[in-house]
Amino acid sequence: MRRFFERRLKASPDPEDLVQEVFIRLIRQEHIGDVHNLDGYVFQVAANVLRDHAKRWSIRREEVNHDTLDGDTLEGGFTPERVLSGQESLERLIGALYELPPRTQAIFTLYHFEGVTQVDIARRLNMPISTVEKHMSRANRHLLAHVRSRE
């Protein structure tokens, strides 16, 4: 679980806090024993914790950016406008990812961010590989359509 967060949050100093948050959320669930696919459920909770963390971090970063941007070129030659545009594009893309059904989000996340193969995803989630492929196709079509609608 710690590695799950470390891979996604290279700049985060405290992945342990996020792991702890996952366990707190799991403990608060009254009917956790009724979950048939516990691994998939735990990773979905972790993805939700990650999303909440990203939202909080984004808000904090925005507050810092408003205080520090003065119109000069930033490190790497990027203007503040270009950096902000990139951040907004990324946030829209992440928002489009969260429009997907939870199972599709989990499969997309495992494949693209965890580096888990589709075969291993199928084994983990106890589903046929063709179902994993369909979820990946659905996610890719949705995100591509979202990107194209912004061009």
- Alpha carbon 91 to its chain's center: 11
The conformation of residue 74, written as its DSSP 8-state character, comes to P
* Helices and strands, counts by H and E, the chain: 7, 0
Is 59 or 56 the better-scoring residue by pLDDT?
A: 56
Instruction: Kindly state the percentage of the chain with pLDDT values over 90.
Output: 14
Residue 149 clears pLDDT 60, i.e. is over it: yes
More confident residue, 62 or 97: 97
Decide if pLDDT at 130 tops 90.
Answer: yes
Name which of 51, 78, 84, 82 is nearest 65 in CA terms: 84
Q: What is the mean pLDDT of residues 61-78?
A: 51
DSSP 22-85: HHHHHHH-TTGGG-S-HHHHHHHHHHHHHHHHHHHHHHHHHHHHHHH--SSPPGGG--HHHHHH
Mean pLDDT (the chain) is 75
From CA 138, how far away is CA 59, in angstroms rounded?
A: 30
Question: What tokens does 60 get?
Answer: 């904090």
- Global pTM reads 0.47
Q: Report pLDDT for 122.
A: 93
Q: Read off the pLDDT of each residue in 131-137 and give the average, rounded to a whole number.
A: 92
- What are the structural domains, with CATH classification, of the chain? 1-68 (no CATH), 86-151 (1.10.10.10)
Q: Helix crossing, 102-112 with 38-68: angle to 10°?
A: 80
